[in-house]
Amino acid sequence: MAARRIKPSLYISVDIEADGPIPGPYSMLSFGAAVAGIQDADGFTAADPEEHTFYRELRPISGEFVPEALAVSGLDRERLEREGSEPALALAEFTDWVREVSAGAQPVMCGYPASYDWTFLYWYLIRFTGSSPFGHSGCIDMKTLYATKAGLPLRAVAKGTMPRELLSRRRHTHHALDDAVEQAELFANLMKWPGPGSSPPW
């Protein structure tokens, strides 16, 4: 009975595009988020990942960038310097959005891999708003989730090693919102997947 009083977890898929390996010296140029589903004592329920979404492009915070990292996103730093949202405003708006969509639940960020996206997102939240709606550890890594269920070493995991039925049919475009939506579907499939050798429950 006590488990039923535990607050549900509201999973939010987040993808970021940045122009370097770490925040501070380098900038998060865009980020997208999509609600992936909710988990309570009765189990996980997937959401339509296009129903609740958030996207912003940001003004760079330094003059430094890694050309190869910038090329992945296809974003124009000069345009973002003119037109990008101020990070403090964008992250405050994001915090408000997270609190709105997760009303009655605890928000949890999910990423692929969470380690990279979480590093930038958390740093930006603390730097520009002073707090995080996810707390300091409210994130889950999809690679780890798959490795655990599949019984594989983490470093053996890539999307190409996963059963095709787990993957979203959407293209991975390196547009932060597109990829957040795609990975929300992957997360929902992983949460429902019973493991290798079992028929998927959908």
Active site residues: 174
Contacts of 102 (CB under 8 A, 6+ apart): 10, 12, 133
Q: Give me the half-sphere count of Cα atoms (radius 13 Å) on the Cβ side of residue 78.
A: 0
- For 158, phi then psi, to 5°, come to -150, 160
**Rounded to 5, what percent of the chain is helix, strand, coil?**
40, 20, 35
Residue 17 token pair: 């595009």
